[in-house]
């Protein structure tokens, strides 16, 4: 089975060399997969308009629809970025097959001024389905940026499936997520639910 083309999107500050996103990119490349792990401009001081433009340019650079499965994996702030993208003007050529939204800040999170432009995305299941055939949300219990209750509300608003990782926190290096076999299995085969590392 051929691997999908995978676009991996980092959050505030980038993902860093020990983060599971870099591990995932390496594993997919090692197995012959086509991977794009861009660094957005000013990762420590993000601007929504710039990141949206950059996201769409990377989506446009994916192999064309029909040439293989196209998958997006977004962590943290990139989840809100994806929701803003989905609610924007529709371009069929940018639609992907599967999206995994990992550990987003709550859409109304007010504890980090640097992400204020990204808050309050449109939570519309119609535009989420327009942007991708299938979307899944995974969060960690104990995440300072989004409670499990908030995550359930988000999943319900978007009408997407939700996996909750016990003691997962923000599903980042600090929470012990330098490697994460379950996310690799999801990219390769769509295996669900997502489970701890």
pLDDT for the residue 176 = 95
pLDDT for the residue 12 = 97
Residue 24 lies in a domain: yes
Residue 196 lies in a domain: no
Low-confidence stretches of the chain (pLDDT < 50) are: none
What is the count of structural domains for the chain?
1
CATH code of 100's domain = 3.40.50.1820
Residue 194 lies in a domain: no
Burial class of residue 192 (count of CB atoms within 10 Å of its CB; 0-12, 13-18, 19+): middle
CA–centroid distance for 75 within its chain: 4
DSSP helix/strand/coil, 70: strand
Query: Could you tell me the residue range of the domain that residue 157 belongs to?
Result: 5-189
Is the distance from CB of 173 to CB of 152 less than 8 angstroms? no
DSSP helix/strand/coil, 102: strand
Is the distance from CB of 108 to CB of 101 less than 8 angstroms? no
Residue 174 lies in a domain: yes
Tell me if the pTM is above 0.95: yes
Residues 110-123 as b/e (b if ≥16 CB within 10 A, e otherwise) read: eeeeebeebbebeb
User: What is d(CA 70, CA 61) in angstroms, rounded to the nearest whole number?
Assistant: 11
pLDDT for the residue 27 = 97
Residue 128 lies in a domain: yes
Orientation angle between helical segments 181-189 and 20-30, nearest 10 degrees: 50
pLDDT for the residue 1 = 57
Residue 197 lies in a domain: no
pLDDT for the residue 65 = 82
CA–centroid distance for 142 within its chain: 19
Residue 15 lies in a domain: yes
Residue 195 lies in a domain: no
For residue 99, what are its two tokens? 């999206």
């Amino acid at each position: 089975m051929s691997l999908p083309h995978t676009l991996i999107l980092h959050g505030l500050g980038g993902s860093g060399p020990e983060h599971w996103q870099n591990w995932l990119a390496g594993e997919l490349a090692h197995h012959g997969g086509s991977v794009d792990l861009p660094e957005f401009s000013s990762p420590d001081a993000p601007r929504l308009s710039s990141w949206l433009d950059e996201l769409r340019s990377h989506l446009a650079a994916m192999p064309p629809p029909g040439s293989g499965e196209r998958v997006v994996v977004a962590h943290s702030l990139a989840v809100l970025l994806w929701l803003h993208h989905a609610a924007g003007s529709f371009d069929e050529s940018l639609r992907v097959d599967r999206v995994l939204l990992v550990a987003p800040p709550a859409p109304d999170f007010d504890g980090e001024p640097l992400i204020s432009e990204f808050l309050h995305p449109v939570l519309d299941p119609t535009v989420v389905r327009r942007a991708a055939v299938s979307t899944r949300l995974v969060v960690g219990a104990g995440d300072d940026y989004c409670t499990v209750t908030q995550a359930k509300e988000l999943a319900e608003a978007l009408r997407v499936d939700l996996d909750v990782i016990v003691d997962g926190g923000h599903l980042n290096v600090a929470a012990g997520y330098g490697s994460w076999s379950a996310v690799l299995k999801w990219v390769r085969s769509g295996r669900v639910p997502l489970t701890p590392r």
